Each structure stands twice: as C-alpha cells, then as structure tokens.
C-alpha cells in the first residue's frame, strides 16, 4: 500500500490520482495556437521588384510593397502594422504559428522594405508574408502573390 501523497491523510474517496488530477487542473496550460493580429481592411502586400519571370544575376534587390498598412519593427505592437518576411522556394507556413526563421523564411524585423538577396543559379520562387510584432501572420493573412525568378 502506497504512502499518502504529500503526507496528507487518505480520505475514503480520494487517492493519489484524484489529488494529482485536481492539482493539474489548476495549472494553466500553454496553447499551441497563436492568435494573429487583425489585418487592416483592404491592406495589400506585393513584390515591387524583381518582376515575375525576371532573369537576374545574384546578388539582387527585392523591394517590398505594402498598401493600406504600415511597417513597424518586430517587437513593436502598433495597430495596422507588421514587418516583412520573404519566403524563398517554400510554401506558405502554418498561418496560426510564428513564421519560421531559416534560409527559406527570411525575417526583416528591423522594418526593412527591401533586401539584397544572394541565391544560387536556377529558378526560384519569392513571396512575402507580413508578420505582426510576434512574427505571427495577421488575420486574415497578408500574403503577396508568389513570383518566379531565374538567377543566371
């Protein structure tokens, strides 16, 4: 027979499992879903340059376009703003989680509106995704049209 949990006397209808379950029920659980910041109505995200189908040499400059919303650095919570993330050769990530940060998901958390990119020769896709102060896509998400460029 097990010793009473925490030295508490055992009651007729309470055992260790019941006490543990009761304690766990009082602990707030972390949610795996993130709430995105509301996107400004009518906002539009797009790539100014290079043009879709362009043949370019590396390094090249990607210019980000945004209408109906503002740009603010990561960590700055201000309504109607966000910062750019450039998706390179990758599908759109899970829109209910923070945008990953790697070679295929480039973060521009300083509020940059253009970037010099160096890619290997070949065909590549580029797409912009606006993230809020916590790198989470807005609701609804602000996503540019995907373009294709060829680096020679």
Residues in the chain: 152
Secondary-structure breakdown of the chain: helix, strand, coil percentages, each rounded to the nearest 5: 10, 35, 55
In a structure prediction context, what are the per-residue pLDDT tens digits for the chain, which is 152 residues long?
444 444 444 444 445 444 444 443 444 434 445 567 999 999 999 999 999 999 999 999 999 999 999 999 999 999 999 999 999 999 999 999 999 999 999 999 999 999 999 999 999 999 999 999 999 999 999 999 999 999 99
pLDDT at 32: 44
| Structural domains in the chain plus CATH codes | 44-151 (2.60.40.10)
pLDDT at 36: 72
**101-105 — which CB contacts under 8 Å span 24+ positions?**
101/135
Global pTM reads: 0.77
């Amino acid at each position: 027979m097990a010793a009473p949990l925490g030295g508490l006397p055992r009651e007729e209808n309470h055992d260790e499992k019941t006490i543990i379950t009761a304690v766990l029920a009082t602990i707030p659980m972390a949610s795996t879903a993130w709430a995105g910041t509301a996107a400004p109505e009518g906002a539009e995200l797009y790539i100014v340059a290079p043009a879709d189908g362009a043949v370019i040499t590396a390094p090249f400059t990607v210019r980000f376009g945004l209408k109906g919303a503002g740009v603010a650095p990561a960590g700055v919570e201000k309504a109607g703003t966000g910062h750019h993330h450039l998706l390179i050769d990758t599908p759109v990530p899970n829109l209910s989680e923070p945008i990953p940060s790697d070679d295929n998901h480039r973060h521009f958390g300083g509020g940059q509106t253009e970037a010099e990119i160096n890619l290997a020769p070949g065909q590549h896709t580029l797409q912009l995704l606006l993230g809020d102060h916590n790198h989470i896509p807005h609701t609804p998400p602000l996503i540019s049209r995907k373009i294709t460029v060829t680096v020679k």
